[in-house]
């Protein structure tokens, strides 16, 4: 038989039918790189099977993609036998009809963790022996060298050098350190709860071992050589446990099973002007905080975290918080949901502890306050009319509805003198205030003048109630700051609704509808929203006893935005 054009002797029984040669399937111990060239002999007789002598001309060690490799160079293809022996661990390769042709035959010292050294010797006249001394028994494959070079490549499994459990700054992880591009297979199993990580084509460079773990949700980590080619890491847990598998690009031999942080619970403390919520964690996890207006819910999602205990609910009902729920929202996200009767704002607080997430939720000074909001004019009384035909009664109703919604969100009880396009007399407006023992009265109007040029906002008060001036000043400041119109100041004026109301009261002239530019502003929903917010901040500052910082509010749509007078402008 010819292999690579050379006559080669086969020590096997074959059957020949003409030019067809049948070779038994058991013929697997002889390596023929490049395939078999089967042809008649030159003298026309059956095929000559010749076994050419082989010389071993070189041996070297290399690390390729995390695998220890022993490369054996020969002068021809070769027949070999292998044996993986114990005490001491070693791989023996006998090459038949071969001689060692190397002048230097000293052992090659490796000590890479798996391969200790490589020895070579002429075992007998026809057998060259290569012995690879190992630190422990390991899986391997042997293949022929590719290309034009003859010989063998012995390739061992990738190595698992270490497995450790770490808790760094409150974040727990199992780290697997090995060689090459490790590709884990992960299973989550029940009864008992455990996470199984199998590393294929890998050898553990240790005896099986167990890592005891002091963790609320992890019992221990077990490491073993599950089969000759699979290293198995088992994380015994105390229930379901979320995790991420992280392969570090700059360290291809490292895999991190990241369990993240623990969320241990929530503490709540009620103060005069706020309620503080402190979330206890084991580190400094990332989080997102948002308020869901339609649910009156402040939501804190804590990332890369696991709840230490089962979900809990704390009932508070202190006038700021109704209750707090803490749940494992997703495998890696703990959610703290704070149910509120209203929402005025919150701020994160640095407690000086990196393992705490603290929020102060503002107690509303408007809670349970009765506030009468009066949209000026209405019904048969259109109020002032702008150059383009915009009627005051529709503008004031829209702004008043927006203002009422903001006040309600802050916990106030709001009474409207009208909630649609109807006429209400001045005495009836004032009667609503006095009959309900209101805490405050605000009447919403827009200004007008025979001249088209006057512009800006002004707020009127009457000094029969001492606090009315302070209210008017604060409302005027908030209105100008939010709407950015000309400041015409707060002014004392005896108007019926201000004189007859027995509570702090003001009448707001938002802008001049007679001024074409300001009429255009009044047609815009965003401007009307800003006007409502400005009045709202003034009222809030009045009850808090000090100016309140401006924060961004979402657009609040009136409950009845579809009234005809503004439909064409919205």
Q: Sign of dihedral through CA atoms 223, 226, 229, 234?
A: negative
Q: Cα–Cα distance between 335 and 217 in angstroms, integer?
A: 18
Q: Which two tokens stand for residue 319?
A: 């006038």
Residue 114's nearest CA partner among 133, 131, 130 is 133
| All residues at 6 or more sequence positions from 523 whose CB lies less than 8 Å from its CB, including other chains | 388, 390, 566, 569
User: Quick one: DSSP state of residue 388?
Assistant: T
Helix residue ranges per DSSP H, 204-285: none
Q: Which two tokens stand for residue 125?
A: 């006249």
Task: Let me know how long the chain is.
Answer: 570
Let me know: does 285 contact 261? Beta carbons within 8 Å.
yes
According to DSSP, the residues that pair with 276 across neighbouring strands are 269, 360
Note the maximum CA span of the chain. 134
| All residues at 6 or more sequence positions from 20 whose CB lies less than 8 Å from its CB, including other chains | none
Let me know: does 474 contact 543? Beta carbons within 8 Å.
no
- The SS3 call for residue 205 is coil
Phi, psi values for residue 443, rounded to 5°: -110, 130
**Catalytic residue among 392, 509, 518, 519, which?**
509
Residue 508's nearest CA partner among 541, 474, 542, 540 is 474
Q: How far is CA 222 from CA 225, 294, 346, in A?
A: 10, 49, 46
User: Quick one: DSSP state of residue 179?
Assistant: S
Annotated catalytic residue 325? no
Q: Cα–Cα distance between 404 and 393 in angstroms, integer?
A: 16
Three-class SS of 172-197: EEEEEEECCCCCCEEEEECCCCEEEE
Locate tokens 């002048």: which residue?
103
User: Quick one: DSSP state of residue 381?
Assistant: B
Locate tokens 């009845």: which residue?
560
Q: How far apart are the first and last CA of the chain?
A: 93
Q: How far is CA 236 from the centre of its chain?
A: 25
Residue 357's nearest CA partner among 290, 273, 264, 271 is 264
Phi, psi values for residue 41, rounded to 5°: -70, 165
Q: Cα–Cα distance between 98 and 124 in angstroms, integer?
A: 9
- The SS3 call for residue 366 is coil
Residue 447's nearest CA partner among 501, 500, 515 is 515
Beta pairing, strands 297-303 & 287-292: antiparallel
Active-site residues: which are they?
A: 509
């Amino acid at each position: 038989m010819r292999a690579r054009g050379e006559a080669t002797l086969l020590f096997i029984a074959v059957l020949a039918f003409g030019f067809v040669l049948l070779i038994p399937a058991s013929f697997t111990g002889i390596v023929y790189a490049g395939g078999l060239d089967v042809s008649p002999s030159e003298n026309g007789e059956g095929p000559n099977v010749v076994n050419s002598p082989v010389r071993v001309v070189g041996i070297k060690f290399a690390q390729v993609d995390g695998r220890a490799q022993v490369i054996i160079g020969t002068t021809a293809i070769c027949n070999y036998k292998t044996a993986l022996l114990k005490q001491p661990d070693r791989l023996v390769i006998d090459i038949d009809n071969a001689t060692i042709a190397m002048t230097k035959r000293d052992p090659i010292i490796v000590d890479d963790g798996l391969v200790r050294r490589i020895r070579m010797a002429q075992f007998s006249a026809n057998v060259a022996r290569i012995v690879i001394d190992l630190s422990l028994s390991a899986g391997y494959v042997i293949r022929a060298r590719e290309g034009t070079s003859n010989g063998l490549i012995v390739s061992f499994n990738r190595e698992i050098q270490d497995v450790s459990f770490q808790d760094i700054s409150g974040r727990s992880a199992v780290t697997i350190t090995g060689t090459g591009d490790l590709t884990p297979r992960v299973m989550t199993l029940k009864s008992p709860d455990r996470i199984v990580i199998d590393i294929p084509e890998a050898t553990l460079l240790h005896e099986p071992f167990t890592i005891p773990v002091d963790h609320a949700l992890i019992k221990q980590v077990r490491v073993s050589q599950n089969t000759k080619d699979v290293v198995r890491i088992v994380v015994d847990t105390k229930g379901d446990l979320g995790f991420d598998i992280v392969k570090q690009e700059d360290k291809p031999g490292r895999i991190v099973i990241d369990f993240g942080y623990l969320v241990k619970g929530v503490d709540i403390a009620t103060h005069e002007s706020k309620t503080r919520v402190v979330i206890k964690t084991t580190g400094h996890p990332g989080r997102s905080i948002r308020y869901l207006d339609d649910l009156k819910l402040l939501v804190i999602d804590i990332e890369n975290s696991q709840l230490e205990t089962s979900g809990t609910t704390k009932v508070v009902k202190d006038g700021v918080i109704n209750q707090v729920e803490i749940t494992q929202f997703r495998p890696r996200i703990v959610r703290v949901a704070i149910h509120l009767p209203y929402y005025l704002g919150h701020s994160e607080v640095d407690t000086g502890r990196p393992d705490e997430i603290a929020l102060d939720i503002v107690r509303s000074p408007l809670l349970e306050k009765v506030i009468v909001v009066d949209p000026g004019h209405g019904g048969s009384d259109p109020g002032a009319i702008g150059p383009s035909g915009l009627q005051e009664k529709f503008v004031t109703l829209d702004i008043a509805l927006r203002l009422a919604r903001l006040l309600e969100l802050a916990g106030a009880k709001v009474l409207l003198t009208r909630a649609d396009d109807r006429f209400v007399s001045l005495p009836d407006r004032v009667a609503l205030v006095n009959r309900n023992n209101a805490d405050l009265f605000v009447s919403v109007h827009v200004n007008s003048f025979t001249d088209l040029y006057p512009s800006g906002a002004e707020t009127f008060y009457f000094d029969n109630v001492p606090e009315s001036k302070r209210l008017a000043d604060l409302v005027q400041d908030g209105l100008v700051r939010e709407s950015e119109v000309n400041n015409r100041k707060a002014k004392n004026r005896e108007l019926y609704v201000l004189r007859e109301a027995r509570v702090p009261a003001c009448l707001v002239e938002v802008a001049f509808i007679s001024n074409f530019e300001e009429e255009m502003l009044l047609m815009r929903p965003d401007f009307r929203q800003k006007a409502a917010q400005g009045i709202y901040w003034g009222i809030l500052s009045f009850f808090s006893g000090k100016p309140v910082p401006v924060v961004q509010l979402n657009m609040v749509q009136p409950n009845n935005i579809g009234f005809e007078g503004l439909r064409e402008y919205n």
